[in-house]
Amino acid sequence: MKKLLIACAATLMAGTAYAADAVIEEVPVSIEIDGFSWTGFYVGIHGGYSWADGEWTAPEPPGAAYNADADLDGFLVGVHAGAQYQFQNNVVLGVEIDADYRDADETANIVLTPPGEVVSDINLRTEINWTGSARLRAGYAMDRWMPYVTGGLAFADYDVSLGGSGIPVPPPPGASFSKTSVGWTAGVGAEYAFTDNLIFRAEYRYSDFGDEDVFLIFTDQPQTYELDSHDLTIGVSYKF
């Protein structure tokens, strides 16, 4: 009888220990891993190349026009700053401003069309001083990757002047003008967050800085100057 009681007690203790071990092993271990968030403020620098075009047109009745087309290609460098918010569905919305310095100037021939003759003693010089924009951005977060689209207002400050042997010294009134034009810009890009604070970007944007009524050569009739650009840039941002 004593041996039977001892055997039953041993069996009961072993079963209890096994049950305790089973309970402990079945308790799930919860590990929370935080993903990267694009929400926050940021500042950065960028640079790249711009393919810009400035075109001056002066109507010359009947049915003719003077025009000059300046290829304002060159490098650009600038700064940007913005703020954005990432929603639970991974959509990221934000705003951004930027300002760029451009190494872009060109002296173009003035052509009378028709018949397409070059006015050999007068030319037109254009120099872009700076450009900038104020834009909205919309992206989709894929952890540390984010493709995005952007668009908004575009600004450009530039100088245009006549030159050549046909222009007297000093130049007469109406031989030059300066403008700060307002237009629109739109583009696409992608960003990658190397760290929680350091973000790399690549972006393409088209900017149309609008048409301006100007008075050049002919001070009694308005002419038109149009400026646009295609910009390809890379940059880096610091996110706070």
Tokens read off for 86:
């990432």
Tell whether 28 is covered by a domain: no
Instruction: Examine residue 24 and state whether it is found in any structural domain, yes or no.
Output: no
User: How many angstroms separate the CA atoms of 41 and 22, rounded?
Assistant: 50
Task: Confirm whether 82 is domain-assigned.
Answer: yes
- For the segment 65-97, what is each residue's pLDDT rounded down to a tens digit? 889 999 999 999 999 999 999 999 999 999 999
For residue 150, being part of any structural domain is answered with: yes
Q: What stretch of H or E contains 198?
A: strand 198-214
Rounded CA gap, 230 and 205, in Å?
6
Decide if 231 is inside a domain: yes
Name 227's Cβ contacts closer than 8 Å, sequence gap at least 6: 52, 53, 54, 55, 72, 128, 156, 158, 181, 209, 210
Yes or no: say if 125 and 106 are a contact pair by the CB < 8 Å rule. yes
Q: Quick check: is 14 in a domain?
A: no
Rounded CA gap, 29 and 8, in Å?
A: 35
In terms of C-beta density within 10 A (0-12 exposed, 13-18 middle, 19 or more buried), how is residue 126 classed? buried
Please check whether residue 21 lies inside any domain of the structure.
Answer: no
Label residue 15 by pLDDT band (50, 70, 90).
low
Q: What is the per-residue DSSP string for 127-161? A: EEEEEEEEEEEEEE-BTTEEEEEEEEEEEEEEEEE
The CATH number covering residue 156 comes to 2.40.160.20
Range of the domain at 190: 40-239
> 28: pLDDT confidence band, cut at 50, 70 and 90?
low
Give pTM, 2 decimals: 0.82
Does residue 34 sit within a domain?
no
Q: Domain total for the chain?
A: 1
